[in-house]
Structure 1
Amino acid sequence: MVKPLIKVSAWKGRVWIWGCLRAAIRAMWFPSYTVRIPEATLQRLLASRFPLEKTRYGCTLAVRDPVVRLKAGDDTAGLEVTLQATLPGGFCPAWRGWMTLRLEYQRDQGAFYLRDPRLQSPELPGMLAGYAKPVLTLISLALDPVLAATPVYTFDPADYRHRWTRMFLKSVTVQDGQLLLELGRNGKRDFVR
């Protein structure tokens, strides 16, 4: 009974070693390799991370219902979101707005974050409409810590494929409605167990 189990585990070990060798040879043979992630996949990943909420000084800012837009020729990601502020006294304005973001990869954490939100074209409701420019600036400043608190995607250190991707990741860009992950030799080895 013990011998078949040993054969199966030895077989799995050989497959794993063969896969690692193939990936290493491919990385040495080809200087870089690009993985394309379409907009629909990003939409599915982001929808699972929302809503995001941040409470400070009795005020709550919530970001809900994201819709991802990756524009051709633009290096930033776009999100159409519903912003809701809950203020003391029961005042709860909510509006739908468009913002551009920069996707940032934190190598030490193996995680992707949305950074530098810039509100582009929200139509502010009611009495806030007259103060559009300062309100948009304040909302942009308040959104950065909200988005920085939660990673959009994190590589799983238990998955060997994620460890290899993390080790060979060179750059992350947006092009032609797709997120491009460039893998290759970058001189920095970040193989984490």
Structure 2
Amino acid sequence: MGIVEVLGLAASVSLLAGWRLYLATFATGLAMRVDVLPLPDHLASLDVLANPWVMGVAAVAALAEFFADKVMWLDSAWDAVHTVVRPVGGALLALAVVDPADPAFQVIAFLLGGGAAFAAHAGKAGSRAVVNAGPEPFSNVAVSTAEDVAAAGLLWLAYAHPVVAGGIAAVLLALTVLLIVMARRVIRRVFVRRKAGGEAPPPAT
């Protein structure tokens, strides 16, 4: 696997960790276990991801995340709990993929992997907060299901065609940053309107 493929794979997996950390962890461990993703010698300690117990826990956690992410406001609580977990997980997954000769490149991969996971997480959490502000729960289920399909599809693409997946990950990262800005504006408007409505004088009787 060339450097371009490795970077594409690292970018894709770390970005997806911000959406579905446990699914990305399970998929990476499975890829290592079946030798689709050979582990670099200097990161041999990360073969723990291919441990059956770790894969089992990741699978159970992925299943729990699948259901929690479809319940209004429970998904936001789940996102809040994983604000630190997902970026760290994304950084470690990037390290599990990258095999640089320069130690400085390892640090860069770790930081960029964590940053990509954090950006994806922030975009997901922000957009979900906007969806939860609506009166009905069906949009929440639709958005969550779309994320499931996108995450599973991009994970498959990351291991089958890492260069293509890396390009898609770059586009998704740019869209995520834009989504964060838009979600911030929408949330601010919602709170301003609610505050203004709460301070309005009662109607005359």
TM over 0.5: no
Q: Which structure has the greater CA radius of gyration? A: 1
Tell me which protein shows more strand as a share of its residues.
1
TM-score, L = length of structure 2? 0.23
Tell me which protein shows more helix as a share of its residues.
2
Greater RCO between the two (CA within 8 Å, min separation 6)? 2
